[in-house]
Structure 1
Amino acid sequence: MLCNVTDIRMTDPIQELGDPHAPILQGLWESVRAGQRHIQLSPYLAASCAFLTHLALCAPFFFLDALGRVCQRVRSWRIAAGSGPPPSLQRWFQCFCRVLFKYTTAVLPAAALLQLLRSPNFPELAPTCWQLFVEVLACFLLFDTLFFIWHYSMHRVPWLYRTVHQMHHQHHVPFALAAQDASSAELLSLLLLALGSAWMLGCHPLSEVLFHFLNSWMAVEDHCGYNLPWALHKLLPCMGGAPYHHAHHKKQNTNFAPYFTHWDFLFGTYCASVQHSE
Structure 2
Amino acid sequence: MDAFAAEELQATFVPIVVYWLYAGLYTLAESSERYRLHTRKEQEAKDLVRRKDVVIGVLLQQAIQSVVALATLRLAKEDNTAAEKPKRTFPTVMTQLLIAMVVMDTWQYFVHRLMHINRFLYKHFHSKHHAIIVPYAVGAMYNHPVEGFFMDTIGGALSFLVSGMSPLAGTFFFSFTMKTVDDHCGMRLPWNPLQALFMNNSAYHDIHHQHYGSKFNFSQPFFVSWDRIMRTYMPCSRETKKKSP
What's the TM-score once normalised by structure 2's chain length? 0.80
Counterpart among 34, 55, 60 of residue 20 in structure 2: 55
Task: Report how far residue 151 of structure 1 moved.
Answer: 0.7
The 1:39/1:224 distance shift into structure 2, 3 A limit, reads: same
* Equivalent residue number for residue 233 of structure 2: 270
The 1:272/1:63 distance shift into structure 2, 3 A limit, reads: same
Q: Which AA in structure 2 matches 1:166?
A: S
Counterpart among 199, 223, 230 of residue 260 in structure 1: 223
- 1:77 partnered with 2:35: yes
Distance 1:57 1:222 in 2: 12
Distance 1:34 1:113 in 2: 17
CA contact (8 A) 1:176 1:220 kept: yes
- Give identity over the alignment, percent: 22
Higher RCO (CA-CA < 8 Å; seq separation 6+): 2
Counterpart among 28, 46, 55 of residue 96 in structure 1: 55
Distance 2:8 2:217 in 1: 38
Q: Name which of structure 1's ranges 50-59 and 249-258 shifts more when overlaid on structure 2.
A: 50-59
CA contact (8 A) 1:240 1:273 kept: no
Task: Report how far residue 177 of structure 1 moved.
Answer: 0.9
SS of equivalent to 1:53 = helix
Task: Report how far residue 193 of structure 1 moved.
Answer: 0.4
CA contact (8 A) 1:178 1:223 kept: yes
Q: Which AA in structure 2 matches 1:260?
A: F
Distance 2:26 2:12 in 1: 22
Query: What CA deviation, in whole Å up to 9, does each residue of 1:81-134 have, x standing for no partner?
Result: 3853689xx954432122224444x44444454455444669766522222222
Distance 1:228 1:86 in 2: 22
What's the TM-score once normalised by structure 1's chain length? 0.71
Distance 2:166 2:62 in 1: 26
* Equivalent residue number for residue 174 of structure 2: 212
The 1:126/1:78 distance shift into structure 2, 3 A limit, reads: farther
- Summarize the alignment of residues 92-131 of structure 1 with structure 2, pairs less than 5 Å apart: 92-104=51-63, 106-119=64-77, 127-131=88-92
Instruction: Structure 1 unaligned segments of length 5 or more: list them.
Output: 1-32, 69-73
- Count, aligned residues: 232
Distance 1:47 1:209 in 2: 7
Q: Which AA in structure 1 matches 2:38?
A: A
* Equivalent residue number for residue 247 of structure 1: 207
Task: Report how far residue 246 of structure 1 moved.
Answer: 0.3
- 1:183 partnered with 2:147: no
* Equivalent residue number for residue 164 of structure 1: 125
Q: Which AA in structure 2 matches 1:100?
A: L
Compare CA radii of gyration and give the structure with the larger one.
1
Distance 2:166 2:11 in 1: 16
Distance 1:116 1:205 in 2: 10
CA contact (8 A) 1:127 1:206 kept: no
Instruction: Structure 2 unaligned segments of length 5 or more: list them.
Output: none
SS of equivalent to 1:76 = coil
Distance 2:73 2:160 in 1: 14
Query: What CA deviation, in whole Å up to 9, does each residue of 1:137-180 have, x standing for no partner?
Result: 22112211111111111111112212221100000001001111
The 1:273/1:86 distance shift into structure 2, 3 A limit, reads: farther
CA contact (8 A) 1:223 1:242 kept: yes
* Equivalent residue number for residue 24 of structure 1: none
